[in-house]
């Protein structure tokens, strides 16, 4: 029984790893304007609202970015744990969520109220940064 459980666990972990997208390359054309990049998160002093952000992330983002935010390769979705993503300002992440990048499959989430988008930004900051060393072949 333990052998079977271990096999299922390894299979699940292996499948999950295969689905991640460590080779994600950002779209160089997808750049937030400076005034948007400089916007501060109005919920920065309310870390308690990140729980709502997590719920919104599960509803709206997991399909492409995965439950751990590492991005699904088949969706060409960003690995949100990468330093290159985490180093972006709150304003940039908010702008990207608001506008989307339809030609690369990222929809606009402007239908969510503004504060809910900031909640998601808050939650994104809680994702653990990945080991950003290149993946072994």
Q: Find tokens 């920065």 and name the residue.
A: 44
| Residues 41/126, Cβ–Cβ less than 8 Å | no
Q: Find tokens 């005034």 and name the residue.
A: 35
Q: With binding defined as CB under 8 A, does residue 114 bind other proteins? A: yes
Q: With binding defined as CB under 8 A, does residue 60 bind other proteins? A: yes
Axis crossing angle, helix 50-60 with helix 114-124, rounded to the nearest 10? 100
Q: 72: which strand partners?
A: 20
Shortest Å, Cβ 58 to other proteins: 7
Among 27, 105, 129, 131, binds other proteins (CB under 8 A): 105
**Binders of other proteins: how many residues, by CB under 8 A?**
34
Among 106, 121, 124, 127, binds other proteins (CB under 8 A): 106
Shortest Å, Cβ 16 to other proteins: 16
Q: Give me the phi and psi of 52, to 5 degrees please.
A: -65, -35
Among 51, 83, 84, 128, binds other proteins (CB under 8 A): 51
| 52 CB-side CA count, 13 A | 12
Q: With binding defined as CB under 8 A, does residue 22 bind other proteins? A: no
Whole-angstrom distance, CA of residue 48 vs CA of residue 99: 26
Q: Which residues bind other proteins (CB under 8 A)?
A: 48-49, 51-56, 58-60, 62-63, 74-75, 98-108, 110-116, 119
């Amino acid at each position: 029984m333990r052998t079977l459980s271990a096999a299922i666990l390894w299979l699940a972990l292996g499948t999950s790893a295969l689905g991640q997208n460590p080779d994600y390359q950002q779209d160089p054309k997808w750049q937030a304007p400076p005034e948007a990049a400089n916007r501060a998160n109005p919920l920065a002093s309310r870390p308690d609202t990140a729980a709502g952000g997590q719920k919104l992330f599960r509803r709206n983002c997991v399909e492409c970015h995965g439950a751990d935010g590492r991005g699904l390769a088949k969706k060409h979705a960003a690995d949100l744990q990468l330093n290159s993503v985490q180093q972006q300002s709150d304003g940039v992440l908010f702008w990207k969520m608001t506008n989307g990048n339809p030609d690369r499959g990222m929809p606009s989430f402007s239908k969510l109220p503004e504060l809910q988008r900031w909640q998601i930004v808050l939650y994104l900051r809680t994702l653990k940064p990945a080991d950003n060393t290149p993946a072994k072949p």
